[in-house]
Structure 1
Amino acid sequence: MSDPKLRAFIASRNLFVLTGAGCSTGSGIPDYRDGDGAWKRPQPMNLATFMGSEAARQRYWARSMIGWPKLAAARPNDAHRALAALEAQGRISLLVTQNVDGLHQAAGSGNVVDLHGRIDALRCMDCGAKSAREKFQTELARLNPDFAARTADRAPDGDADLEADFSSFAVPPCPACGGVQKPDVVFFGECAPGERVEAAYAAVRAADAVLVVGSSLMVRSGLRFVEEAARLGKPCAAINLGRTRADDLLSLKVEADCAEALRFLL
């Protein structure tokens, strides 16, 4: 049963939409935080650790190699499809996602800013060359057949809950320059590219209201856009299981599964 207040909030408005991990849990991708906004597991890899330690990179890529197939097989759920339908009605000025899974585009959304990048691409930190993750996955499996045969529980963003001796794990260098390759995503300790941030701010200013879907807003990366909307006197609503860091700025809070709350749009 849809929330009548949510229906009324969405009706006849030009929305800036911000999505987070809760939007993709229905697709089998775990989220990071519990209902109080606390970490469910150790914090994700940060940029300084990844770049400063070969051992950290070995651990990251070994776990990622095992977790990637499940993430690559994920498909959009009704939350993604509902937002794509809303865009098709001309009711979304911009959808900014903090997720890196590409599921909004897979569902049919076209006006999307991947604030934190895409996990299905790689970037060389030395020469900037970009490449597809699928090709890198094949090379990882070829170089590390013993690890490729392992299984582990899935974790957020293609990670896997695996603990092992990673010292023998081989990580391919950049084929163009031999440099360090990392996922083309924003790690903790990195800033989202300025052009993405500015596009989001411009869309907030152009929108009538802000709708947050599946984000606790515990990091400023997403919170700042809700704060900007509130500063401009624009109403903000959130669909999220548990508290958000912007609860005091919201004119409407719907504590429900994202897909269930938005299914009426389908």
Structure 2
Amino acid sequence: MLRSASHVLAFTGAGVSTPSGIPDYRGPQGVWKTKTPVFYEEFMTDRSERIRYWQQKIDDFDAWGTAKPNAVHRAIVDLEHAGKLEMVVTQNIDGLHSAAGTSDDKLVEIHGTVRLVRCQTCGEETDPLPHYEAFRKTGEPPVCHCGGFLKPATISFGQNLDPFEIERARSAALSCDLVLALGSTLSVYPAASVPLVAAERGVPYV
């Protein structure tokens, strides 16, 4: 199937990145077994929750900072170089597809990325490292020059997905001729509905 396909949709989940040393979220040793997530409304309304959120993220940043793309990430880049890749739609926030070399126009990070920080008011995106360093020194959750709260550019519980990215993912599902579902339990919605759009069209699904 892969040999004959020319518009492959690769849908990836946490299992793709665990060989790179990044823990999953929902498995027996998953992140949410040891941490209580901060909901988006809590982040936006409660300073103490913003502090707790940034502490969690700085722990993740320290743990993930040395992670490197693995063979699966590189194989997907090979598909792109061969002209066979329609899109990568990933639930992962680790940025390893980008680090491996997947082009921005071939990548939908449907739950965002830890590789950027975004202002929740003006939308400006910046390098996260200076903000993490400032938080280490002061313990104060960082604020944008516009006064808005800064937050890693990931989707929190209770936060809406980016409709533009959802549409890019859906468009790819309507255009692909093969779906590769890699490292995902397909249990987190609405992201998991993306490969099903293709399956409902009768597209081969692996």
Asked if TM exceeds 0.5, the reply is: yes
Tell me: CA distance 1:223–1:65, structure 2 relative to 1, closer, same or farther (3 Å): closer
Q: 2:120 aligns with which of 117, 125, 141?
A: 125
Matched, 1:225 2:190: no
* Residue type of the alignment partner of 2:165: R
CA contact (8 A) 1:32 1:41 kept: no
Aligned to 2:10: 17
Q: 1:101 to 1:126 in 2, by over 3 A?
A: same
Which residue does the alignment assign to 1:179? 148
1:186-205 paired onto structure 2 within 5 Å: 186-205=155-174
Deviations, residues 153-207 of structure 1 (Å, cap 9, x unaligned): xxxxxxxxxxxxxxxx322322x12221111111121222111111111111111
Bigger CA drift: 61-70 or 191-200? 61-70
* Rounded Cα–Cα distance in structure 2 between residues aligned with 1:65 and 1:199: 30
C-alpha displacement at 1:42, in angstroms?
Answer: 5.1
Q: Superposed, which structure 2 residues align to 1:1-266 within 5 Å?
A: 9-13=1-5, 14-34=7-27, 40-41=33-34, 44-110=37-103, 111-143=106-138, 169-174=139-144, 176-237=145-206
Distance 2:111 2:164 in 1: 12
Provide the aligned C-alpha RMSD in A.
Answer: 1.9
From the superposition, tell whether residues 117 and 177 of structure 1 become closer, same or farther in structure 2 (CA, over 3 Å): same
Q: In structure 2, list runs of 5 or more residues that go unmatched.
A: none
Following the alignment from structure 1 to structure 2, what is the Cα–Cα distance between the partners of residues 21 and 236? 19
Aligned 8 A contact 1:18 1:222 in 2: no
Q: How far apart are residue 12 of structure 1 and its match? A: 1.7
In the superposition, relative to structure 1, how do residues 210 and 99 fare at CA in structure 2: closer, same or farther (>3 Å)? same
SS of 1:138's equivalent in the other structure is helix
Deviations 1:12-42 (A, max 9, x none): 213111111111111111001238x9x6455
Aligned partners of 1:191 and 1:25: how far apart in 2? 26
Aligned length: 201
Q: What TM-score comes out, normalization by structure 1 length?
A: 0.70
Q: What is the letter of the counterpart of residue 132 of structure 1? A: D
Percent identical among aligned pairs is 37
Whole-angstrom CA distance in 1 between matches of 2:158 and 2:175: 30
Structure 1 pair 112–57 and aligned structure 2 pair: CA distance change class (3 A): same
Gaps of 5+ in 1: 1-8, 144-168, 238-266
Deviates more, 1:75-84 or 1:109-118: 109-118
The aligned amino acid for 1:222 is A
Aligned to 2:190, the other structure's residue is in SS state helix
CA contact (8 A) 1:19 1:214 kept: yes
Task: Provide closer, same or farther for how the CA distance between residues 43 and 12 of structure 1 changes in structure 2, counting only shifts above 3 A.
Answer: farther
Match in the other structure for 1:150: none
Residues 1:172 and 1:225: Cα distance change in structure 2 (over 3 Å): closer
Shift of 1:104: 0.8
